Amino acid sequence: MKQILNKFMAVLVFTVLFFVASTALIAGEGSSEPGAAVTPQIPANTAAQPRFNPWYLSAHPFGLLSMAELIKLPPADKRMFWKLSTGYQYDTNAILNAIGAPVPTNVAKKNDGRKMVNIIGSYIPYRSQDHDYTLNYAFFNSNHDELDDFNLTQNMVELAGRWNLTKRRTLRYSTVYQHLLLGKKIFDEALMTGPSLVYSSGHGHTTSIDLRYRKTDYRNVSIFATNSNRTGHNWSGAVTHSIQVTPKRLVRVGYSYDVDHARTATWDGAGHKVSYETSYILPNDMLFNCYNEYYRKDYDGLYMSIGGKRHDSSYTSITTLTKYFNEKYGVSLRTLWSRNWSNVAAFDMSRAIHGILIDTRF
């Protein structure tokens, strides 16, 4: 009964959040400056056009986050985009081992270096002034120096539609399929779908409201012998507000709430996440980006080892410094630090990833 009520409340909260916020945004349009479009189009021969579009958001190899990039505005008739990232990373806890726990006997060690490649492609088969459709593809592969069983191969395909409802309000609907291999075996398959509403105030402020439903099928693989217990579905809702503080500084703050319903009660639970990201354009075509998030999750199932329910709190920080060359190439130094505090010892862990990446756009 509690799971049914949690699911009902999650759907109700997300639905009310989406439509109430939509109504508020529509009502707010009347007080904004008229004629300010969501994405201003500047002719290529206009002197006011910047060398780069400083606040383009793109996926990065650490996961399903997005980070600001400096890119040159593409021609209006361009329909296909590709980005290739290659590099090397050092991971202090590639196997996600708990703090103080011995490394499993069938694993050589927990830290390792790896080569990686990330390919992101977008194709726009149809585009008009008010709406468009986009097909996106992403491929990620890591090749460890020693821990071959922990190599990751991820394929993602997204079909998305975008509609300009008004000059300031845009609706986007997305459906994503993910296939992930750990070593040479399937770790999970997932299908995620949902709408996003984006509102631009015309004063450097943009608000995005995202609702998502995700169904995931996990498989038992490697040292994750009970991974399939996580199979189930997830409801999530998020609000992100972006502020262009100055022409060279962007700030984004966000809040999200999600509810998991898994095969076993130990993976059922609800989580709250808050995030803060800031980006600075530096001299000589350089960009500094810092992303921070705090996530709290309370699980429903009882753990015999503690005689109670599991509670996790995690903090993640990602810092990137990128130097761009010839408006097409970029070299990034990136570091990720993550710490998960849990009252269940097996999930109390920390991790750091340091890397250098080289980007090429086509």
DSSP track, 337-350: EEEEEESSGGG-EE
- Which residue from 325, 356, 327, 352 is spatially nearest to 338, judged by alpha carbons? 352
Question: CB–CB of 192/160 below 8 Å?
Answer: no
What domains are defined for the chain? 2-30+87-113+175-361 (2.40.160)
Q: Check residue 67 and give its pLDDT.
A: 62
Summarised one tens digit per residue, pLDDT across range 309-340 is: 999 999 999 999 999 988 789 999 999 999 99
What mean pLDDT comes out for the span 239-249? 89
Q: What is the pTM of this model?
A: 0.82
Summarised one tens digit per residue, pLDDT across range 87-112 is: 999 999 999 999 989 988 888 899 99
H or E element, residue 154: strand 152-164
- Which residue from 58, 111, 140, 141 is spatially nearest to 352, judged by alpha carbons? 111
The length of the chain, given as a count of residues: 362
Residue 3, pLDDT above cutoff 60: no
Question: What number of helices (H) and strands (E) belong to the chain?
Answer: 1, 16
Question: CB–CB of 18/195 below 8 Å?
Answer: yes
Q: Check residue 69 and give its pLDDT.
A: 73
* CA–CA dist 240, 208 (Å, integer): 5
Count CB neighbours of 192 within 10 A: 19
* CA–CA dist 160, 125 (Å, integer): 11
* CA–CA dist 138, 30 (Å, integer): 39
What sign does the dihedral 216-220-224-230 (CA atoms) show? positive
Confidence of residue 144 (pLDDT cuts 50, 70, 90): very high
* Cα 338-357-69 angle, rounded to 5 deg: 85
Question: CB–CB of 307/289 below 8 Å?
Answer: no
Confidence of residue 149 (pLDDT cuts 50, 70, 90): very high
Instruction: Name the burial class of residue 183, with classes exposed (0-12), middle (13-18) and buried (19+) by CB atoms within 10 angstroms of its CB.
Output: middle
Instruction: Give Cα separations from 277 to 32, 43, 68 (angstroms).
Output: 26, 31, 9
